[in-house]
Chains A and B, each alone.
Chain A
Amino acid sequence: MEHNGKTYWATVLSLLTKILIIWFLVSFGAGILFAPALNSISLGGYPLGFWFAQQGSIYTFIVLIFYYAKKMGDIDRLFDVHEE
C-alpha cells in the first residue's frame, strides 16, 4: 500500500509536469518570449504572437484542464483510489 501510494503520487506528479510545460510554452513562450518572432506569421489576420497572448493561450488552458481531469480519473481507477 505504501509502495502503491508512492507510485500513485509519482504518476500524478509526472502528469502535472507535462501539463505545466505546455501551459508555460503557450503563454509565457508563444505569448510573451517568442511573440515578436511569431508576429511575422499571420493566423487568420492575426499576428501569431499577438493571437497567442490574446486568444490562443486561453483556448489551450481549457483543453489542458479537461485533459487533466480525464487523465486523473484514469490514474485514480488504475491505482484503485477513486471515490466510491
Chain B
Amino acid sequence: MDLQTITYLVVGASFALYIAIAIWARAGSTSEFYAAGGSVHPITNGMATAADWMSAASFISMAGLIANMGYGGGLFLMGWTGGYVLLAMLLAPYLRKFGKFTVPQFIGDRFYSKWAATVAVVCLLTASLTYIIGQMTGVGVAFSRFLGVSSDTGIYLGMGIVFMYAVFGGMKGITYTQVAQYIVLISAYIVPTIFISLQLTGNPLPQLGLGSDIIGVDTTLLSKLDMVVKDLGFDQYTTSLPGSTLNMFVYTLSLMIGTAGLPHVIMRFFTVPTVKDARSSAGWALVFIALLYTTAPAVGAMAKFNLHATVNSAVGLETGPMGHLNVNPEKIKANADLYAAEASLVYEKRPEWMKRWEKTGLLKFEDKNGDGRIQYYNDKTKNAEAKAKAEAAGWKGNELTVNPDIMVMANPEIALLPNWVIALVAAGGLAAALSTAAGLLMAISSAVSHDLIKGIFNPNISEKNELMAGKVSMAVAIVIAGYLGLNPPGFAAGTVALAFGIAASSLFPAIMMGIFSKKMNKEGAVAGMLAGLFVTLFYVFAHKGIFFIKGTDFVDLIGGPNSFFGITPEAFGAIGAVVNFIVAFAVDKVTKEPPEHIQHMVEAVRIPRGSKAVSGAH
C-alpha cells in the first residue's frame, strides 16, 4: 500500500474514534458543557489535560525549534513543565475549593467587582486568541502535509474541522475524546523516536539514546552533532543560547507563569471532585506531558543529525539494506570533509520525502552556485574558519530552507522509516492540533457567553441563548485566528509563547494575589492586570505588529528589536508580570482594603474542608 493510502486509513480511523466518543458522551446541560459535571478521576483528568496541553506547538513545532536552538530550546522544556509546579501548588487546589467554572468568575468574585471580571475576560480573550493563531499555524502544517496541499489551504481546511469539532463536543465529550487523543499523539511521538534512537545509538529509550554513543563508535551522538553543526557554521548544539543567558532566564520564567495563568489549563482543575484530587491531577498531567517533553530533545537533536546526514554524506549515515537511514561507523570515525564537492547531495537524487514537503512550500531548495547539489550550512556565520571553508569550496550561500515547524512531522520520513510510522505521526499531529484548539475555543466561548454576557450584561439570558452565544464566539474566534494564522507572527511554538507571555503578565498575578494576599483589593488587581497586559502588548505589538497585523509594527519607536535589555517579545511576559505586581501593590496601598466578607472568603478558600459544599452551590 502506498503512503498516502495508509495515511488516510490511519488518520480516518483515529477520527472515527474521536467522533464516536464525542457522540457517546454528548453534553447536555450548560453545567456539563463547561465542566463535565465535576466528576473526572485525577488520572483521566491528567491524561486529558496533557492532550489539551500538548498542542500543535508542543507536538509539531517544539522539537523543530529545539533542533534549531540546541541547548537554548530547553527554555520550552523547562518553561512548559515547570509551570505545573506553580499551578499545582499556588492555584489549582484553591481555585477548586472556590468552586467556580471559570477564571473571570473567580477574579470577579474575589475582587468583588464586575470591572475586575470584565478586565479578566479581556486578558483571557487576548491570550487565548494569540494561542489559537499559533495552533492554526500548526494545523496548517499538519493538514498541508496530510493532503499534499499548500500550508495556506491546510489552514482553511483546518479551520472548518476545528470548528465542527468544538461545537459538537463540549467539555465532557472533549475530556474522554482527549484521553483517546493523548494515546494517539503520544504513540505517534514516541514510536518513531524509538526507531530512530535504535538506528543511531542502539538504545531504544530516546531519553538515554540522546546521551549515548553512536552505534559502533565511541563518540557520543551529541559531541558528533556539535562537531558537524559547528563545522557548518552553526552554533555549537549543546551550548547555543537564545540571545543571552538573561533572555533565556526571563523567557523560561514567562512560560512557567504563563502555564499557570492560562485559562484553558486552569479550567481543567475545576473539573476534579476534591481539593486533594486537584493537587495530584497536576502531577498526573505532568507525568503524561513529561513522556513527550523528555522525548522531544531526542527528536530535535536526532532529526537535525539525520537531516544534515541526508544532505551531506560526509556526516556518516547512509541508506541501509532495509531502506532506512543507517550509521556507517567507519565513516563517522573518519570525520570526512563536509565541504568536499561530492559530499553534498545531488538535488535530482533527493529522497521522496523532500519532494513531498516541497509541495507544501515549507521546504525549499535554491541552487545558488548552480552545481545541482544541495549545500546546507549557515551562510551568516561569524565563525571565520567555516566561512573560509565555504568560500574555498565554492558555496554561494545556503541552498536549503527548512521551516522548523516541519521537523517533527518529517522526522520519520527523514529517517526513512516504514510508511505506517509516517501515517501515525500525521494522525498524532492532527490530534494535537485539534485537541488544543478545541480546549481553547471552550475557554473563549465560556468567557464570552458565561462571564461576559450572563455574568455582566444580561444575567437573565436563557440557557439556550447562552449556548448559542458561546458557539457564535467560537466561530468568530476561529475566523480571526485563521486569518492571522495565514501570516503568523512566528513559528507555531513562538506564537504560542507570546500567548503565555500575555497570560503571565495579566492573569497569573491577579489570581495569585487573590489567594495569597488577603488585603489585595479590587483597585489594585484591576490596575495591575491592565498595567501588565498593556506593557506586554505594547512590547509584543512593537515587534510583531498591532494585533499581529503585518506592517503595523513600530519597533523603531522603542529603539530597535529587543531593546529592553536584549529581551525578546516572547520572553517579555515575565517583565509584564513584575509590572503587574508592583502596580497592584502600589495602588492597593493608597486605596481602602477589601470588605470583611471578602477577607473571610479568602480564608475559607485556603483550607480544603467544605469543598463539597462549595461545589454543591452550582
Interface size (B, Cβ < 8 Å)? 53
Q: How far is the CA of A25 from the CA of B85 in the complex (A)?
A: 13
Whether A43 pairs with B280 at a CB distance below 8 angstroms is no
Residues on A with C-beta less than 8 A from B514 are none
Indicate whether B238 reaches chain A with its CB closer than 8 angstroms: yes
Centre residue among A39, A43, A46, A54 by max chain B CB count within 10 A: A54
Residues on A with C-beta less than 8 A from B283 are 62, 65-66, 69
Q: How far is the CA of A73 from the CA of B277 in the complex (A)?
A: 11
Q: How far is the CA of A47 from the CA of B84 in the complex (A)?
A: 26
Q: Tell me the minimal C-beta distance from B547 to chain A in angstroms.
A: 32
- A 25-53 binary contact with B (CB < 8 Å = 1; else 0): 00110011101100100011111011101
Whether A68 pairs with B88 at a CB distance below 8 angstroms is yes
Whether B210 pairs with A46 at a CB distance below 8 angstroms is yes
Indicate whether B135 reaches chain A with its CB closer than 8 angstroms: no
In the complex, chain B residues 67-116 whose Cβ is within 8 Å of any chain A Cβ: 71, 73-75, 77-78, 81-82, 84-85, 88-90, 93
Whether B293 pairs with A58 at a CB distance below 8 angstroms is yes
Interface secondary structure of B, over-half rule: helix
Interface secondary structure of A, over-half rule: helix
* A46/B603 contact (C-beta < 8 A), A61-B84, A83-B612 known: no
Residues on B with C-beta less than 8 A from A12 are 606
Whether B612 pairs with A45 at a CB distance below 8 angstroms is no
* A33/B245 contact (C-beta < 8 A), A16-B89, A39-B239 known: yes
Whether A5 pairs with B78 at a CB distance below 8 angstroms is no
Centre residue among B78, B88, B282 by max chain A CB count within 10 A: B78
Q: Tell me the minimal C-beta distance from A61 to chain B in angstroms.
A: 5
Q: How far is the CA of A51 from the CA of B85 in the complex (A)?
A: 19
Residues on B with C-beta less than 8 A from A55 are 207, 294, 297
* A47/B222 contact (C-beta < 8 A), A33-B249, A61-B286 known: yes
Residues on B with C-beta less than 8 A from A65 are 84-85, 88-89, 279-280, 282-283, 286
Contact of B74 among A23, A44, A53, A66 (CB under 8 A): A53
Residues on B with C-beta less than 8 A from A51 are 211
Can you give 6 A-B contacts (C-beta < 8 A)? A28-B252, A31-B252, A54-B297, A55-B297, A58-B78, A69-B280
| Residues of B in contact with A (beta carbons under 8 Å apart) | 66, 71, 73-75, 77-78, 81-82, 84-85, 88-90, 93, 207-208, 210-213, 220-222, 238-239, 245, 248-249, 252-253, 256, 274-276, 279-280, 282-283, 286-287, 290, 293-294, 297, 603, 606-612
